[in-house]
């Protein structure tokens, strides 16, 4: 079994305390893909020392040179697509096609950030000449702490890391505990791209052990975190001690509204794609399906047939439609949520009659695509994020009722409506409380030129992507200059 090291100051290093943790392939219970450093606060401190030291010269590296490093990294990423996709599938469980799509998405977003950064600095730096010359000087904030989740183990870290590096910051990165290998593979690509020592550092370990060491260090001036709302709140509270800025991309309970005038075939694709891709472990997954009463029975028949027809199994198999959930904890959480929903009086119309009856093989953490009907707003199945392939279905009689149901959530990440009425679409875009509003487009769709982030308890701080993805990592210095 391979042992994987941390990457600090351009060197592959063991944790000072010598402990390691394993990485289970969720399609094979009890497997172990490698031994990873179970780092401590001492290792994090060393990584921050390295990043703080490297910042002195990296902030003065020209934008063109920083772009060259990132372009080299993206070229390596493109060449490694197959190898990286395999690693993502092995440790996360998603299908190999989904892993390839994740790499492709990172390439598209990375290419966008690479192109946009020069214009971003130029626009802000334009000088206005009167008796005084004034301009805004954008400056990197310093060391950025990047903490990512396991559900998109390489794309999320790219979406944060590339803007941080392009704008002149140095990085201490902590991959999710379930998916350290993808993070370290990306780290190797940064090393091979020739990034100067200390500019990018990677420390693996438990969030509960090393997360605080990243967040509490006053030299870390920005924390970009994607993960659960519960951990996001803890990070924001701790970061407040040093007034460290945070970018928090958190949980969701995203609603798909299907009106009675909708194209039902399109709406069905949306529910299945956004509900069951990545085994439903998508922050922008559809998790509540709100159906107009007039089409509810017809739509449900179609949805159940689609869900029941899906091939669930090992994601390495090209013909698999849906892989396992990401590990034992996910499996326990998702199956407990389904059991609770049944106890609350909902009905499983698609999925295993009992969540424990395993879908494809007893070897992995498999949950069948599940559709629950009879869900009401007071139930946990309606309120709580179930991070798995579970759709909670409610019915409504009017658009106003649908909108009120969709907005009846502490979350506000993504949303979608299927309708052929422009007036309904406009009322929805105006009224929906979400960071992403889709009309006849599924809840998981996004483009890098638009902001990606949630409202309410789905996010805080500037969204990723678009200009705000860069803006998060810079300070604005107002310059007033009179030269005699
Ligand atoms: P998580 O909150 O358990 O962990 C996320 C990361 O935080 C991991 O790297 C973890 O090790 C680390 N961590 C844990 N405790 C910490 C602490 N006290 N201090 C600092 N770091 C700590 O989330 P997860 O289970 O990895 O991911 C699933 C969640 O992420 C879901 O809620 C999902 O909706 C959300 N998510 C959101 C987005 C988005 O863009 N809004 C995208 C993907 C996932």
258 HSE (CA, 13 A, CB side) = 28
Residue 119, φ and ψ in degrees, nearest 5: -60, -35
What distance in angstroms lies between residue 16's CA and the mean position of ligand 1's atoms?
Answer: 25
Residue 483 confidence (pLDDT): 87
**Rg (the chain; Cα; Å):** 23
Sign (positive or negative) of CA dihedral 298, 301, 307, 311: negative
Which token pair is 110? Answer: 């990375």
Sign (positive or negative) of CA dihedral 92, 95, 98, 102: positive
Task: Report the 10 Å Cβ neighbour count for 52.
Answer: 17
Whether 283 is catalytic = yes
Q: Whose CA is nearest to atom 26 of ligand 1?
A: 149
Reduced to 3 states (helix: H, G, I; strand: E, B; else coil), residue 399 is helix
| Look-up of token digits 């509003």 | 437
Reduced to 3 states (helix: H, G, I; strand: E, B; else coil), residue 182 is helix
State if residue 239 touches ligand 1 by the CB under 6 angstroms criterion.
Answer: no
Q: Which of 98, 102, 109, 249 is catalytic?
A: 249
The DSSP H or E segment spanning 143 is: strand 143-147
Closest atom of ligand 1 relative to the 452 alpha carbon:
40
State if residue 387 touches ligand 1 by the CB under 6 angstroms criterion.
Answer: yes
State if residue 444 touches ligand 1 by the CB under 6 angstroms criterion.
Answer: no
Q: Decide: 66 and 156 in contact? Cβ < 8 Å.
A: no
CA distance 13 to 18: 10
CA distance 239 to 147: 13
CA distance 114 to 428: 34
CA neighbor of 144 nearest in space, from 233, 234, 242, 246: 246
Residue 358 confidence (pLDDT): 46
Q: Decide: 211 and 235 in contact? Cβ < 8 Å.
A: yes
Closest atom of ligand 1 relative to the 231 alpha carbon:
2
According to DSSP, the residues that pair with 372 across neighbouring strands are 348, 392
What distance in angstroms lies between residue 40's CA and the mean position of ligand 1's atoms?
Answer: 19
According to DSSP, the residues that pair with 201 across neighbouring strands are 172
State if residue 176 touches ligand 1 by the CB under 6 angstroms criterion.
Answer: yes
Q: Decide: 211 and 174 in contact? Cβ < 8 Å.
A: yes
According to DSSP, the residues that pair with 394 across neighbouring strands are 290
CA neighbor of 473 nearest in space, from 118, 75, 127, 142: 142
Which token pair is 243? Answer: 């007034």
Mutate to test the pocket of ligand 1, among 149, 206, 226 (most ligand atoms within 8 A of CB): 149
pTM, 2 dp: 0.96
Q: Decide: 414 and 252 in contact? Cβ < 8 Å.
A: yes
- Residue 379 to residues 8, 212, 384, Cα–Cα distance (Å): 47, 34, 8
CA distance 60 to 73: 20
The DSSP H or E segment spanning 265 is: helix 264-276
Q: Decide: 90 and 364 in contact? Cβ < 8 Å.
A: no
| Look-up of token digits 């993960």 | 227
Which token pair is 19? Answer: 């402990």
Alpha helices in 38-148 (DSSP H): 41-58, 63-79, 81-92, 96-124
Adjacency order of strands within the sheet including 200-202: 11-13, 6-8, 200-202, 170-174, 143-147, 220-226, 245-249, 459-460
Mutate to test the pocket of ligand 1, among 207, 326, 462 (most ligand atoms within 8 A of CB): 207
Sign (positive or negative) of CA dihedral 344, 349, 350, 351: positive
DSSP state letters, 367-383: ---EEEES--TTSHHHH
State if residue 463 touches ligand 1 by the CB under 6 angstroms criterion.
Answer: no
Residue 353 confidence (pLDDT): 58
Which token pair is 41? Answer: 């606060």
Q: Which of 283, 385, 394, 395 is catalytic?
A: 283
Sign (positive or negative) of CA dihedral 35, 41, 42, 44: positive
Q: Provide the 8-state DSSP code for 195.
A: P
Residue 236, φ and ψ in degrees, nearest 5: -65, -40
Q: Provide the 8-state DSSP code for 22.
A: -
pLDDT tens over the chain, length 484 residues = 799 999 999 999 999 999 999 999 999 999 999 999 999 999 999 999 999 999 999 999 999 999 999 999 999 999 999 999 999 999 999 999 999 999 999 999 999 999 999 999 998 888 888 789 999 999 999 999 999 999 999 999 999 999 999 999 999 999 999 999 999 999 999 999 999 999 999 999 999 889 999 999 999 999 999 999 999 999 999 999 999 999 999 999 999 999 999 999 999 999 999 999 999 999 999 999 999 999 999 999 999 999 999 999 999 999 999 999 999 999 999 999 999 999 999 999 998 755 555 454 568 999 999 999 999 999 999 999 999 999 999 999 999 999 999 999 999 999 999 999 999 999 999 999 999 999 999 999 999 999 999 999 999 999 999 999 999 999 999 999 998 7
């Amino acid at each position: 079994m391979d042992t994987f090291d941390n990457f600090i100051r351009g060197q592959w290093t063991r944790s000072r305390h010598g402990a390691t943790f394993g990485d289970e392939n969720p399609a094979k219970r009890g497997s172990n893909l490698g031994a990873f450093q179970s780092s401590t606060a001492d290792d994090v401190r060393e990584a921050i020392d390295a990043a703080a030291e490297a910042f002195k010269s990296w902030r003065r590296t020209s934008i063109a040179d920083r772009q060259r490093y990132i372009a080299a990294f993206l070229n390596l990423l493109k060449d490694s697509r197959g190898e990286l996709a395999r690693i993502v599938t092995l440790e996360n469980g998603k299908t190999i096609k989904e892993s390839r799509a994740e790499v492709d998405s990172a390439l598209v977003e990375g290419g966008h950030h690479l192109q946009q950064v020069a214009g971003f600095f130029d626009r802000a730096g334009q000088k206005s000449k009167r008796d005084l010359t004034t301009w805004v000087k954008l400056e990197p904030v310093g060391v950025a702490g990047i903490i990512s989740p396991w559900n998109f183990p390489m794309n999320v870290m790219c979406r944060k890391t590339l803007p941080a590096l392009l704008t002149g910051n140095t990085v201490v990165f902590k991959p999710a505990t379930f998916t350290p290998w993808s993070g370290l593979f990306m780290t190797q690509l940064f090393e091979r791209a020739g990034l100067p020592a200390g500019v990018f550092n990677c420390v693996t370990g438990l969030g509960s052990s090393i997360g605080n060491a990243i967040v509490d260090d006053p030299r870390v001036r920005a924390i970009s975190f994607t993960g659960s709302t519960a951990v996001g709140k803890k990070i924001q509270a701790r970061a407040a001690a040093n007034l460290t800025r945070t970018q928090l991309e958190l949980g969701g309970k995203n609603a798909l509204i299907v009106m009675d005038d909708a194209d039902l075939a399109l709406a069905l694709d949306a529910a299945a794609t956004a509900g069951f891709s990545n085994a439903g472990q998508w922050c922008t997954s559809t998790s509540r399906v709100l159906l107009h009463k007039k089409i509810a029975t017809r739509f449900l028949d179609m949805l159940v047939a689609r869900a029941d027809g899906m091939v669930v199994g090992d994601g390495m198999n090209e013909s698999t439609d849906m892989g396992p959930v990401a590990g034992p904890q996910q499996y326990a959480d998702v199956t407990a949520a389904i059991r609770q929903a049944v106890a609350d009086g909902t009905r499983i119309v698609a999925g295993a009659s009992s969540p424990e009856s395993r879908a494809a093989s007893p070897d992995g953490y498999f949950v069948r695509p599940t559709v629950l009907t009879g869900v009401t707003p007071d139930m946990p199945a309606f309120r709580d994020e179930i991070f798995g392939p579970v759709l909670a279905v409610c019915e409504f009689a009017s658009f106003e009722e649908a909108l009120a149901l969709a907005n009846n959530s502490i979350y506000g990440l993504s949303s979608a409506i299927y309708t052929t009425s422009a007036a309904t679409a406009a009322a929805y875009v105006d009224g929906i409380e979400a960071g992403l509003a889709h009309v006849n487009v599924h809840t998981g769709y996004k483009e890098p030129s638009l902001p990606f982030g949630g409202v309410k308890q789905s996010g805080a701080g500037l969204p990723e992507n678009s200009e705000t993805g860069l803006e998060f990592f810079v300070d604005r210095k107002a310059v007033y200059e009179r030269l005699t």
